[in-house]
Amino acid sequence: MSNYLVMKFGGTSVGSSERIGEVAKRVVRQVKKHGDKVVVVVSAMSGETNRLIELARKVAGDGYKAREYHQLVTAGEQVSVALTAMAIEREGLPAQSLLAHQIPIKTNTVFGQNLISEIPVDKLKSLLDRGIVPVVAGFQGVNDSLEYTTLGRGGSDTTAVAVAAALDSCRCVILTDVDGVYTALPSICKKARKLKALTYEEMLELASSGAKVLQTRSVSLASKFKVPTLVCSSFSDAAGTEIVEEYEGMEDAVVSGITCRTDEAKITLRNLPDQPGVAARIFKVLGDAEVVVDMIVQSEGSSGRAAISFTCAQEFSKVAYDAMLKLIQQEMSESSIELDTNIAKLSVVGEGMRTHAGVAYKVFEVLGEEGINVDMITTSEIKISVAIEEKYSELAVRVLHERFIERPES
Ligand code: ASP
Ligand code: MG
């Protein structure tokens, strides 16, 4: 077993010169105490990426080219890697900052997203073998034409896991401003508690359903390459949450976590012809408009008419609405369309659902007792998601948490 370790520090952890100093001390401690070969990955200093995007808007509205956007926003990480490398050297270990093209972290563009295609590790290994700490810029990639790309907001998590996957049997620690993954957002639910461990699949479902601790893509990568990942605080030594393939007792609790997201919108098409091919036509148009659809519900047709509702990210709801409006005007003139942005998607997630029955019934019962109407439903083997009115979202999280996590035996 090699002792490679990737330590990733988020924006808050490198948010000031003092904090960068603390990061350096922590890295040096890890290397000296445990003899680990540490690769550091950092995000931009907190607020920096937003500041750069805001500057672009001021200068060019929405009219700037993708190339210039990537060129601009990668600057945040260029600053933080250099400062972190300097701070580590000051603490007594040689360090070298590396930007994406200096490794290189190669990306391909697939469906408008930059996905990592390759990370050669010879340079990292050669630095490590010479006792030098590589400090890698998160978020940045480079394409075949040597242009900068980025891995999406929060993409430094993905950089960290991808670097760990590229090195042999390497662990990954994500050091952040929270001390782990909680059963629900502690700001909404006072009784939320920190989880010791989660499976990759649980974390993936939680991340994609609104838990903001890790970028969803980093969890997919960790799962695919079986990278043992730990989420913990960069400000304390408290034990964090381990994300692993299996953990002891993983099916004992039915529900491991409850999340809620309010950044989706619902579009409903009514009075549609209840005929084969209509749904295909609708979702083809949405696909062509590059709208990623999340939940879908079709109501039973009556007198030859039917209704379809679907949700998508609020940021794409205008594009989706316009595409649908055009479609019904041109091809389904008797149908109508409605856009609702006041929805929340609530998800309960747990490996235990594979072996416990009646979870859906309990979710509906708890919500029903509070007078909360369930609008749409989707499920996977380990998740149940429902769409409800946004104003009930916090209440719904609390009552589901009480039912499934605080008194699971009831
Ligand atoms: N700096 C980038 C962002 O703010 C990437 C990251 O922080 O992970 O999205
Ligand atoms: Mg982050």
CATH code for the domain in which residue 148 is found:
3.40.1160.10
Q: Return the closest-CA partner of residue 82 out of 64, 96, 62.
A: 96
Range of the domain at 29: 4-177
In short, whether 350's Cβ falls inside 6 Å of ligand 1 is no
Give domain status of residue 407, yes or no: no
* pLDDT tens sequence across 275-295: 899 999 999 999 999 899 999
What are the residues whose beta carbons fall under 8 Å from the beta carbon of 336, sequence distance 6 or more? Answer: 269, 270, 271, 328
Ligand nearest to the CA of 156: 1
Strand partners, 142: 106, 148
The total domain count for the chain is 1
What are the residues whose beta carbons fall under 8 Å from the beta carbon of 167, sequence distance 6 or more? Answer: 2, 4, 6, 39, 121, 124, 125
Give domain status of residue 91, yes or no: yes
Given this model, what pLDDT does residue 90 score?
98
In short, whether 154's Cβ falls inside 6 Å of ligand 1 is yes
Give domain status of residue 361, yes or no: no
Given this model, what pLDDT does residue 408 score?
82
Give domain status of residue 47, yes or no: yes
In short, whether 49's Cβ falls inside 6 Å of ligand 1 is yes
Closest residue CA from atom 4 of ligand 1: 49
Give domain status of residue 144, yes or no: yes
Given this model, what pLDDT does residue 357 score?
83
CB–CB of 113/152 below 8 Å?
Answer: yes
Q: Phi, psi (5° rounding) for residue 329? A: -60, -40
Give domain status of residue 216, yes or no: no
The CA distance from 208 to 405, in Å, is 20
Give domain status of residue 336, yes or no: no
Give domain status of residue 278, yes or no: no
**Count of residues making up the chain:** 410
Ligand 2 midpoint to CA 280 (Å):
37
Q: Return the closest-CA partner of residue 73 out of 157, 163, 148, 161.
A: 148
CB–CB of 40/7 below 8 Å?
Answer: yes
* pLDDT tens sequence across 211-238: 889 999 999 999 999 999 999 999 988 8
Given this model, what pLDDT does residue 2 score?
63
* Residues of the chain with confidence (pLDDT) below 50: none
CB atoms within 10 A of CB 342: 12
Ligand nearest to the CA of 73: 1
Q: Is the peptide bond before 104 cis (omega within 30 degrees of 0)?
A: yes
Ligand nearest to the CA of 14: 1
Q: Return the closest-CA partner of residue 49 out of 125, 138, 121.
A: 138
- Token pair belonging to 227: 């990278």
Ligand 2 midpoint to CA 26 (Å):
19
The CA distance from 28 to 25, in Å, is 5
Given this model, what pLDDT does residue 247 score?
92
Q: Is the peptide bond before 120 cis (omega within 30 degrees of 0)?
A: no
Q: Phi, psi (5° rounding) for residue 289? A: -85, 5
